[in-house]
Structure formats: C-alpha cells, structure tokens
Amino acid sequence: MLRPSSVLSVLLRSPSLPVLLTSLVLAFALAGCSADDLQPSLDDRPVAGPELPSGAREATVVRVVDGDTVELGGGLGKSRLIGIDTPEVYGGVECYGREASAYAKRQLDGRRVRYTVGRDERDRYGRLLVYLWLEDGRSFNALLVSRGYAQPLTIPPNDDYASAFVRLSRRARERAVGLWAAQACTGAPG
C-alpha cells in the first residue's frame, strides 16, 4: 500500500507537477461556470470604430438627455451625437428608445469624455454636433450602433465616419442585437 508521503514525494519530483497543479486550479476555478460565463460581455468586446483623434477636446457629461443627446459641461450645452440616430423617448416613445437612453446614462452620466465637433457645428435646434469617445478611447457613437441602440444617420458634411457606422450597423443586424433582436419591440424580454 502506498503511503501518502511516498505519493507526495513522487509528485514533487515529477516534471508534470506544474501542469497538474494548473489543471487542478482551473478545474476548481471553473466549477459551476457555464460556457456563457466565459464569453466576454458586449461591453467588453472591442469595437472597430473611429479612433480617438489627437485634437479631441475634453468635457464632462453633465446630463444625458436621451440616447443620442447629452449636455456637456464647460458651457458647451446640449450636444447631439453625429452620424447616428437612437429611437425617441420623448413625444412618442419608439421601440428600444428607453433602452438606448438607459445605456447612454450608464455609460456617460457624470463621466469625462473626449469630443470633436462636426464641420457643421450646430443643428437647427442649436445643439452642438459632436463625436464622443469614452476615457478608454472607444467611440461612443460607434458603441451605440454596434450594440444595436442606434442606426446610422448621415447628414453631410458631417459624414467623417459614415462608412464605419454603416458597417457596424450591418453587423449588429446580422447578430440580431439591440433593436435588431427578434423580441426587441414586442414587449417580451430580449
């Protein structure tokens, strides 16, 4: 009969000990996890959107009005995101509008952002027209489209990233995420 001390002695001299220990640690760590638990969430996945330009300025989002409109501090005021359109939440709530607005609030409320202003600086309502980037360098306009919270809206001359937004929207539709999900507008959980 093998004594525990002799088994331990053999294991400690074995060249496969690191592999065995790693396997045991992983087995214990992953116990009870499903395959879904190992997949990155949508917010963790990279987005192939516009890169942060070197001339971008900083501001703080003092209020999120809805999915595509924010109020920037420092006297900038109401600012409309360029190149995208989220469903409405005022004056007739549209499908997925509340979700888009809630997502924008979770991501932006009170946070520092970088922004650039469009060639046409203001829209007919006097809002500053901007592209926004989060502190980690991701384009927020692109995030909204890629997560299915918005669709592209191209109004020249503010069309710098139009092709990227169209590409991201196509992928969101193919993956059936956000407003493109089968149950997004049926009132059923998606």
Helix (H, G, I), strand (E, B) or coil at 190: coil
Report the alpha-carbon distance of residue 1 to residue 46 in Å, rounded.
56
Q: Which candidate in 45, 51, 63, 80 is catalytic?
A: 80
Distances (CA, A) of 121 to 35, 117, 173: 47, 6, 30
Quick one: which of 153, 38, 178, 5 has its CA closest to 100? 178
* Residue 87 near residue 96, CB atoms below 8 Å: yes
> Is 80 a known active-site residue?
yes
> Is 58 a known active-site residue?
no
Q: Which candidate in 3, 51, 58, 88 is catalytic?
A: 88
Residue found under tokens 């520092």? 112
Q: Which candidate in 114, 127, 138, 147 is catalytic?
A: 127
Report the alpha-carbon distance of residue 142 to residue 52 in Å, rounded.
12
> Is 13 a known active-site residue?
no
Quick one: which of 26, 23, 28, 123 has its CA closest to 68? 123
Task: Catalogue the active-site residues.
Answer: 80, 88, 127
